[in-house]
């Protein structure tokens, strides 16, 4: 890898207690242009130490690990002011796993059966600060977001649904603006309206609430 490539690559720290999983992820990411694996950790405690020392852009975090769980590690990194984005990568999609991870500060949440291309896309989106949730995971967030249908005056417009659909698929504001042929500022305005109408404060919660209300259920 050249110096220029290292400067522009997304730096990734892999955290998983299974060596075979770490090896498989490293093999995938090492052969993907624009991604660089800077280290590995086998538990949450080690993950915090390595993340603070190596300063990766994205931490690919498992949740259930002996010697230190992922949720505690995510919370600790946030408390320590780590700039790394944490993308959960686990086999567990229950409420007891999803909700604490998101509340602790995870940027995204994927399951280990995700397609390699989806994982790569999610890592790049996470590095940009964007939220990516597996559809089944978004559905798990409805317990804390369940609410009656929006009254007619507060219904999302067609354009707001389009913007939210792109956000749910991992697109940032700039990409959404390009795809919809509108300005980035207009995208931000649409998102602010969506947050207000759905009663949420961020992209992850907006996506989850939209899935809950069936607004994105029939979209790719």
Question: Would you place residue 99 in the very low, low, confident or very high pLDDT band (cuts 50, 70, 90)?
Answer: confident
Q: Are 42 and 68 in contact, with CB atoms under 8 Å apart?
A: no
Q: How many CB atoms lie within 10 A of CB 183?
A: 11
The residue-averaged pLDDT of 167-192 equals 90
pLDDT exceeds cutoff 50 at 3:
no
Q: What percent of the chain has pLDDT over 70?
A: 88
The residue-averaged pLDDT of 9-35 equals 95
Question: Would you place residue 45 in the very low, low, confident or very high pLDDT band (cuts 50, 70, 90)?
Answer: very high
Q: Are 72 and 45 in contact, with CB atoms under 8 Å apart?
A: no
pLDDT at 145: 52
Instruction: Give the C-alpha distances (Å, rounded to integers) separating 2 from 26, 31, 34, 62, 69.
Output: 19, 14, 11, 30, 35
Domains of the chain: 3-140 (3.40.50.2300), 142-212 (1.10.10.10)
Helix ranges (DSSP H) in the chain = 3-8, 19-30, 44-54, 70-79, 95-104, 116-127, 135-140, 142-145, 158-168, 173-180, 184-198, 203-212
pLDDT exceeds cutoff 90 at 21:
yes
């Amino acid at each position: 890898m050249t110096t220029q490539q290292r400067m522009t690559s997304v730096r990734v720290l892999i955290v998983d207690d299974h060596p075979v999983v770490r090896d498989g992820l490293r093999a995938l990411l090492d052969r993907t242009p624009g991604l660089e694996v800077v280290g590995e950790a086998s538990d949450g405690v080690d993950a915090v130490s390595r993340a603070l020392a190596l300063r990766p852009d994205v931490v690919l975090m498992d949740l259930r690990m002996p010697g230190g769980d992922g949720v505690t590690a995510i919370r600790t990194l946030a408390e320590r002011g780590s700039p790394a984005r944490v993308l959960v990568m686990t086999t567990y999609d229950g409420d007891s796993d999803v909700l604490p991870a998101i509340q602790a500060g995870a940027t995204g949440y994927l399951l280990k059966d995700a397609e390699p291309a989806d994982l790569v896309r999610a890592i790049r989106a996470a590095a940009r600060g964007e939220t990516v949730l597996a559809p089944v995971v978004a559905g798990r967030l409805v317990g804390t977001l369940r609410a009656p249908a929006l009254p007619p005056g507060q219904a999302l417009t067609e354009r707001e649904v389009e913007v939210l659909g792109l956000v749910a698929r991992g697109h940032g504001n700039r990409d959404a603006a390009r795809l919809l042929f509108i300005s980035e500022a207009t995208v931000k305005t649409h998102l602010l309206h969506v947050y207000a109408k759905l009663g949420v404060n961020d992209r992850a919660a907006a996506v989850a609430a939209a899935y809950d209300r069936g607004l994105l259920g029939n979209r790719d």
